Structure 1
């Protein structure tokens, strides 16, 4: 029986162990101890970049079900497992030097009547070396192994879930992204009038772009109702980049420019050959230019769909693109009685005021991204194909470009506030606690060997 199947057989057999009056004789399985991080996979990707001088990972010892006495568990880093790993996975990775790591404890206890030990922290440190020259740093783009195992226990150890292989790599690529499944990013400062929110209004061109990883293209919400859309970014029923739609390919990008500032409708038509796939990173972008009357969708830096002669036929003050609608409403609502007449044309009704710019949300709570995101941006110009290709993974000196009106790198790796790296400072805030997954490494496809 494979270790992973055996582990889940245990879980299914003793799912009722939380009961206070659990009877051990009720199960046909012997009790076992295992590492929580290894219950689904022994391999723990641990990739970091130059913004991460210290990296911490948590692990605990678990029992399948509680027992009447304390269970003692010893943990150890075991270099002897490196050769076995390399032979098994056909790799040639060396052991991580001991100067880069430490365990907060090498012995834990699972108390009587409990199934979980205290948390042990694996701390990776001095990864960037010393000084400006980073002397002694872990080399870039080289991979190392750090096997942590249950060395001894007063309880039988579950084979296959007793070892965690930490695969440690200092990467030159992007290594941090946010998981936005059942979550989204809001922008409180865009709901109120200020010079920095109004930069999102009165536009004649727009570019949205982001790095996106789709875990799945869900077809129903938690209540079982059909779902045909994954929201990426923008304003619902106005100017929104998404995947899928009713009577549309579930995995195809759609740029919905139904609002008065765009007027090109839902673009492009349904085309199964343009479907995206789950389980990989994409750079996705879309552009619209009122003056050129051109709309484009880009995938991995190349034009996937294009239409010319679409959108508003005549530019005017009345059909400018407004992405921060609530700021306009707030402008009229907070004006003095004497000033209100000059803002009358910017007074929006309650429904229009509710339209907001989001990342990962549109009409309701059940059109989530179902994946990961990094490097999200909004520009007040239609970026050229050359500009999009060159800057897919980073924007140098973002505060120097006034047309970059929003830039959320998602490189925090903790917390729920997403910094805006543009000069305008409209930080995002997650609706719920963000999950920051480990092991992120986004390949940079626009880089070629010198």
Structure 2
């Protein structure tokens, strides 16, 4: 009996708590607003120059569900452009109406719900017509499209009733992937022997490249344990480009060449003047050449660190660079000879090639990435500088082992644009941030 009384009090307490929550939640009047403007009225709509259309989605929202349908009228309002420019100190014009359309002038938030169906502001005709792109939206010019709630059957939350779309057709890279704790890029085909992986082994030189943006150089993880490394790309304890290390500058690039095909160790030495900054885009690259015995690191296309007379002293078949070592073990499994066991049997526990991960999950990139590449040659300083943001005809170059542009903008598979087709697969869902724009610092305005 006593147990039943206690249970009754618990249930009554829970119900009372719910009533209190509802009452507290409703102590302010219900209002309608635009969901995209809940945190900021400014919405970046930056897209690449090869997009014919670009969709911006929004919904009308309520603070809490209403007992009846709430009708909301929406409109593009050019009269708000002057107010925006005065507030933010800009001089951006209204986008010509031929370049946009609103999918519906009215939407409804059904009774019992807090959001309406999706309404789309579609930017269209962006590339113009024909090969000459007649009438295309001009490149690298910024325009405004203010969308506001023009009417509603409920009170409107002022300040969150307008979304200012800042529209720009950019010549820069406008898509990148967000990686971080619990998410990195795997390459399943590199662990299997075949045409996809064979070119990755038996190398005498190599280059890694990527565009990266570090949101934060984390120093502790969720459990409060130290974090010393941000992994960019490569193979742990073999050939790995990363940022930071134990007893090393947390924000300095480090190229770890501890593998049997390199043996130059950790490069360069600790130097705070070489630290990167959070919150900006960098092109980073590293090269190693066995024959030249030279290792280099580049930042934004410029040589940052170089050392010669390092690495293996004498080249041989036994100390070639293997970036897909597990594929060699897979070859042994399918060709189990004594000689193959001697050569490849030890690769069963070999580390793998990743982007955004190395030893474990506590060394994430914690930022954004685009234009990641692996080459079977040591790229020259001129090649690094000239091709930081694009590689022409990538499928025609056999020395380009892997090329992930990260330009999908959706999904969890990252296409390999090289001839080898080693598509990357994210460990968990990729976030594709809006408003990305990576300026091309190797191009000068004339």
- Residue in 2 aligned with 1:251? 251
- Residue in 2 aligned with 1:137? 136
**C-alpha separation in 2, matches of 1:49 and 1:290:** 39
Residues 25, 187 of structure 1: CA spacing in aligned structure 2 closer, same or farther, 3 A cutoff? closer
Taking the TM superposition and a 5 Å limit, the aligned residue runs for 1:269-348 are 269-335=269-335, 337=336, 339=337, 341-342=339-340, 344-348=342-346
- Residue in 2 aligned with 1:112? 111
Cα deviation, 1:47-71, whole Å, max 9, x if unaligned, reads 1123211111211122222233332
**C-alpha separation in 2, matches of 1:20 and 1:186:** 48
**C-alpha separation in 1, matches of 2:219 and 2:250:** 8
Deviation at 1:344, TM superposition (A): 3.3
TM-score, scaled to structure 1: 0.91
Deviation at 1:249, TM superposition (A): 1.3
SS of the aligned residue for 2:45 comes to strand
SS of the aligned residue for 1:247 comes to coil
Do 1:54 and 1:126's aligned partners in 2 also have CA atoms closer than 8 Å? Answer: yes
SS of the aligned residue for 1:328 comes to helix
**C-alpha separation in 1, matches of 2:292 and 2:53:** 49
Do 1:331 and 1:343's aligned partners in 2 also have CA atoms closer than 8 Å? Answer: no
Do 2:326 and 2:347's aligned partners in 1 also have CA atoms closer than 8 Å? Answer: no
Deviation at 1:443, TM superposition (A): 0.6
Do 2:325 and 2:347's aligned partners in 1 also have CA atoms closer than 8 Å? Answer: no
Given the alignment of the two structures, is residue 232 of structure 1 paired with residue 232 of structure 2, yes or no?
Answer: yes
**C-alpha separation in 1, matches of 2:218 and 2:159:** 32
- Residue in 2 aligned with 1:11? none
- Residue in 2 aligned with 1:15? none
Taking the TM superposition and a 5 Å limit, the aligned residue runs for 1:157-176 are 157-176=156-175
**C-alpha separation in 1, matches of 2:42 and 2:25:** 33
Given the alignment of the two structures, is residue 426 of structure 1 paired with residue 422 of structure 2, yes or no?
Answer: yes
- Residue in 1 aligned with 2:220? 220
**C-alpha separation in 2, matches of 1:369 and 1:155:** 45
Cα deviation, 1:313-351, whole Å, max 9, x if unaligned, reads 11111111111011001000112x5x5534631222532
Deviation at 1:445, TM superposition (A): 0.6
SS of the aligned residue for 1:23 comes to helix
Do 1:332 and 1:340's aligned partners in 2 also have CA atoms closer than 8 Å? Answer: no
Deviation at 1:421, TM superposition (A): 1.3
- Residue in 2 aligned with 1:125? 124
Deviation at 1:19, TM superposition (A): 6.3
**C-alpha separation in 1, matches of 2:200 and 2:19:** 57
Q: Give the stretch that moved more between structures: 139-148 or 103-112.
A: 103-112
Higher alpha-carbon Rg: 2
Do 2:328 and 2:347's aligned partners in 1 also have CA atoms closer than 8 Å? Answer: no
SS of the aligned residue for 1:85 comes to helix
Residues 107, 397 of structure 1: CA spacing in aligned structure 2 closer, same or farther, 3 A cutoff? same
Which ranges of structure 2 fall in alignment gaps of 5 or more residues?
1-16
Deviation at 1:383, TM superposition (A): 1.0
Do 2:301 and 2:388's aligned partners in 1 also have CA atoms closer than 8 Å? Answer: yes
- Residue in 2 aligned with 1:375? 371
- Residue in 2 aligned with 1:63? 62
Residues 25, 424 of structure 1: CA spacing in aligned structure 2 closer, same or farther, 3 A cutoff? closer
- Residue in 1 aligned with 2:381? 385
Deviation at 1:83, TM superposition (A): 1.0
Q: How many corresponding residue pairs?
A: 429
Residues 315, 139 of structure 1: CA spacing in aligned structure 2 closer, same or farther, 3 A cutoff? same
Taking the TM superposition and a 5 Å limit, the aligned residue runs for 1:403-422 are 403-422=399-418
**C-alpha separation in 1, matches of 2:315 and 2:332:** 24
TM-score, scaled to structure 2: 0.92
Deviation at 1:179, TM superposition (A): 1.1
**C-alpha separation in 2, matches of 1:309 and 1:274:** 22
Cα deviation, 1:141-182, whole Å, max 9, x if unaligned, reads 111111111111233222222111111111111111111123
Do 2:236 and 2:352's aligned partners in 1 also have CA atoms closer than 8 Å? Answer: yes
Q: Give the stretch that moved more between structures: 95-104 or 24-33.
A: 24-33
Q: Give the stretch that moved more between structures: 369-378 or 157-166.
A: 157-166
Which ranges of structure 1 fall in alignment gaps of 5 or more residues?
1-17
- Residue in 1 aligned with 2:73? 74
Cα deviation, 1:236-278, whole Å, max 9, x if unaligned, reads 1111101111221111111111111111111112221111111
SS of the aligned residue for 2:122 comes to strand
**C-alpha separation in 2, matches of 1:19 and 1:126:** 51
Do 1:256 and 1:267's aligned partners in 2 also have CA atoms closer than 8 Å? Answer: yes
**C-alpha separation in 2, matches of 1:295 and 1:115:** 58
Taking the TM superposition and a 5 Å limit, the aligned residue runs for 1:40-55 are 40-55=39-54
